[in-house]
Amino acid sequence: MVDDLVGLFDALFPNNRREVVVVGHSMGGAIAAHAVSSKRIQNVRGLVLIDIVEGSAMDSLPSIPMFINARPQTLESVESAIRWHIESNSIQNHESARLSVPSLLVPVNDGKQMTWRTQLLPTEKYWKEWYSGLSKTFVSAPTAKLLVLAGTDRLDKELLIAQMQGKFQLEVLPLAGHTVQEDLPDR
């Protein structure tokens, strides 16, 4: 998936000369960290990871398939998908859900229902590889770094030490859930 991210970046910004900040949330944060650390994206001036750290990611691996399987496989409408996200507390902010959830869906059954655009379970075989060593990958990325978390309990030992040494900036938003950027978009 790092190749996909680099390829997308190169397609969108061929011969890039602009300074860029690469941002990734959750699984996307792991991919962003690996892409930036590989130095395959040019002119990176910052790396932002949102609510993803190696320790809690590795600890949560066994429960992720249960979470994915608990999602409805089909939904009656975009509105029902938004309602599911709010009621399941996947997203706390209704306005954010209204704006972001539609892009997560594709029509099925002749457009009468919706399902998830991205099927996550087929990527399960890569999860451990994405998350293993993530803290070191993030801390050693050759750029300015910001880690945005919903709680300090998510910091693993390596990140805690690196943060105390000033190797990255930490922003904690305790009122947010896992979708920090959705729950508190103004922060």
Query: Would you name the residues annotated as active-site residues?
Result: 26, 51, 178
Q: Could you give the C-alpha distances from 171 to 57, 60, 121, 180, 184, in angstroms and in order? A: 18, 22, 30, 11, 12
Nearest to 101 by CA among 184, 182, 185, 22: 182
Residue 115 CB partners (closer than 8 Å, separation 6+): 73, 74, 75, 105, 106, 108
Question: Is 50 strand, coil or helix?
Answer: strand
